[in-house]
Amino acid sequence: MNPEYFKVFERVGEKPLGTGACGAAWKVKKIGTEEIYVAKEFMGPDIDVKIVFDPEVAALKDVKHPGCVNSHEIFGNGESGSVIILDFCSGSDLNKVIYKGTEKYPGGVVDKATILDWLI
């Protein structure tokens, strides 16, 4: 893991919030301010991490919207051990929110505008 990351943030809890093909997302707090964030830690072969990391960083830099998660800091440049610090959104998993909302619709089919209304 990028050593600079651990100078600024510490993990909260013993289990990740979630895992994926290239790593895990952890609840973290910023040392000194106690602000809570999510650290998306990228692990695995450097080539696999770079394929996922670079497009994600590019997308996060372009997205600035109150309804979207924002990135705050990036540690590393796409090698294994790179970390992206994101807003922490408490509550529920987005898939669960959408699935629960679809239960009252025939066949679970809901138009995009309705889902956006649930989230905004």
Would you state the pLDDT for residue 63? 78
Tell me the CATH class for 3-89.
Answer: alpha beta
Would you state the pLDDT for residue 36? 95
Would you state the pLDDT for residue 74? 87
Would you state the pLDDT for residue 15? 93
Would you state the pLDDT for residue 58? 84
Would you state the pLDDT for residue 32? 94
pTM: 0.72
Residues 6 or more apart in contact with residue 94 via CB below 8 angstroms: none
Three-class DSSP category at 33: coil
Region 42-57 average pLDDT:
81
Model confidence at 37, pLDDT cuts 50, 70, 90, reads: very high
State phi, psi for 104 to the nearest 5 degrees. Answer: -90, 5
83-87 and 9-11 strand pairing: unpaired
Tell me the per-residue pLDDT of 55-108, one tens digit each, with 9 for 90 and over. 888 888 877 776 678 888 888 877 778 899 988 887 766 666 666 666 776 676
Domain ranges of the chain: 3-89, 91-120
Q: Percentage of residues in the chain with pLDDT exceeding 90? A: 21
Whether 40 contacts 23, CB under 8 Å: yes
| pLDDT beyond 90 at 117 | no
Q: Hey, how many other C-beta atoms are within 10 angstroms of the C-beta on 35?
A: 12
